[in-house]
């Protein structure tokens, strides 16, 4: 089968090549991949097991049935014509979405779900600040937090502010100066890291939480801070699918590439100013 493989550091070391089609182990299914989405910085994740197939979220078919999933980060990903995926991770695809749109859901939506609700313990009526609110994870975090009944403050660069407003955020603040005059929040959900993450700690109320999916946050005696790695899981993906079918949540697609343009796709994923996820279209289904 054709697959994208990473041979070193960075997009320049990506090669589209023929590799052996995986043979599903017990409990796995062979998925014919229709589309696979990618995430900023993910080429840093498999550096201890090269060459490695990148991309950890797919939409495809098993025996003609449309499925989608987030796949584990400790083995080859899904930027290929086929992928062996644990059956207990595969969920039926939303009928409202095509394959490219579906592939853009599992990783950011599960990251948002787990960050807000499992680690952030967000409940209705609480105030949450979401950094990178127009990004891959931030897009879902904004929509899921609103759906939960939280008061959502989305932080984004000025160019992305309108995109966050369109998602329905209660307040939109500029990443460059968002701490000015903002009342304390119960939760910061950070998807950007760096200086923005450092600045946002001071905005959490005493006893509140700061959860980052981007990097380890600084410790602060007043606040519970945590970094987490998203876990592939089917059950919350089924709940997210129901929200998509009901029209409450939708993915954002920045751009679509064929596998042959893997380097350009990853370069795009690392750029600022994207309007959502970068997705490989692999095959019609």
Ligand X SMILES: NC(=O)c1ccc[n+]([C@@H]2O[C@H](COP(=O)([O-])OP(=O)(O)OC[C@H]3O[C@@H](n4cnc5c(N)ncnc54)[C@H](OP(=O)(O)O)[C@@H]3O)[C@@H](O)[C@H]2O)c1
> Which residues bind to ligand X, rule: CB under 6 A?
39-42, 107-108, 111, 132, 134-138, 156-157, 160, 175, 191-192, 213-214, 229-230, 270, 272-274
* Strand 57-62, strand 82-86: pairing: unpaired
Asked if 62 and 30 touch (Cβ cutoff 8 Å), the reply is: yes
In the complex, least distance from residue 2 CB atom to ligand X, rounded to whole angstroms: 25
For residue 163, count CB atoms less than 10 angstroms from its CB and return exposed for 0-12, middle for 13-18, buried for 19 or more: buried
> 265 by DSSP, 3-state: which?
helix
Q: In terms of CB distance, is 34 or 212 closer to ligand X?
A: 212
In the complex, least distance from residue 233 CB atom to ligand X, rounded to whole angstroms: 12
In the complex, least distance from residue 245 CB atom to ligand X, rounded to whole angstroms: 23
In the complex, least distance from residue 284 CB atom to ligand X, rounded to whole angstroms: 26
User: DSSP letters of 184-197?
Assistant: PEEEEEESS-HHHH
Give residue number: closest CB to ligand X: 135
In the complex, least distance from residue 49 CB atom to ligand X, rounded to whole angstroms: 17
> 269 by DSSP, 3-state: which?
helix
Q: In terms of CB distance, is 35 or 137 closer to ligand X?
A: 137
Q: In terms of CB distance, is 148 or 226 closer to ligand X?
A: 226
In the complex, least distance from residue 277 CB atom to ligand X, rounded to whole angstroms: 7
- Give me 27's structure tokens: 């409990």
Q: In terms of CB distance, is 66 or 138 closer to ligand X?
A: 138
Q: In terms of CB distance, is 22 or 191 closer to ligand X?
A: 191
Q: How far apart are CA 202 and CA 22, in angstroms?
A: 48
> 216 by DSSP, 3-state: which?
coil
In the complex, least distance from residue 26 CB atom to ligand X, rounded to whole angstroms: 27
Q: Which of 159, 162, 183, 187 is nearest to 172 (CA)?
A: 162
Q: In terms of CB distance, is 32 or 57 closer to ligand X?
A: 57
Q: In terms of CB distance, is 94 or 115 closer to ligand X?
A: 115
Q: In terms of CB distance, is 32 or 254 closer to ligand X?
A: 254
| Helix 136-147 vs helix 235-245: crossing angle, to nearest 10 | 80
Instruction: Tell me if the bond preceding 210 is cis, omega within 30° of 0.
Output: no
Q: Which of 215, 210, 155, 219 is nearest to 188 (CA)?
A: 210
In the complex, least distance from residue 157 CB atom to ligand X, rounded to whole angstroms: 4
Asked if 213 and 73 touch (Cβ cutoff 8 Å), the reply is: no
- For the chain, give the number of residues: 285
Q: How far apart are CA 163 and CA 174, in angstroms?
A: 12
């Amino acid at each position: 089968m054709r697959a994208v493989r990473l041979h070193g550091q960075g997009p320049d070391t990506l090669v589209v090549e023929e590799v052996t089609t995986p043979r599903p182990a017990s409990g796995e299914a062979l998925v014919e991949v229709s589309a696979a989405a990618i995430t900023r910085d993910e080429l840093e994740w498999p550096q201890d097991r090269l060459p490695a197939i990148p991309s950890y979220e797919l939409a495809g078919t098993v025996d003609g049935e449309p499925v989608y999933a987030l796949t584990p980060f400790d083995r080859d990903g899904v930027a290929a014509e086929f992928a062996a995926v644990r059956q207990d991770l595969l969920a039926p695809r939303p009928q409202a979405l095509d394959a490219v749109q579906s592939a853009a859901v599992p990783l950011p939506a599960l990251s948002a779900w787990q960050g807000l609700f499992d680690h952030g313990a967000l409940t209705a009526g609480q105030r949450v600040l979401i950094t990178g609110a127009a990004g891959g994870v931030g897009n879902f975090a904004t929509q899921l937090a609103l759906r939960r009944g939280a008061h959502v403050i989305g932080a984004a660069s000025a160019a992305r502010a309108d995109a966050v407003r369109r998602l329905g955020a209660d307040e939109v603040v500029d990443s460059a100066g968002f701490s000015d005059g903002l009342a304390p929040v119960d939760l910061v959900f950070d998807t950007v890291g760096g200086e923005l993450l450092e600045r946002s700690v001071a905005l959490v109320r005493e006893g509140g939480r700061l959860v980052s999916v981007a990097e380890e946050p600084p410790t602060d005696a007043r606040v519970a801070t945590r970094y987490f790695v998203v876990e592939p899981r089917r059950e919350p993906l089924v709940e997210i699918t129901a929200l998509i079918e009901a029209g409450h949540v939708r993915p954002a697609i920045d751009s679509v590439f064929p596998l042959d343009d893997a380097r350009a796709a990853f370069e795009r994923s690392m750029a600022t100013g994207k309007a959502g996820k970068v997705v490989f279209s692999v095959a019609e289904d």
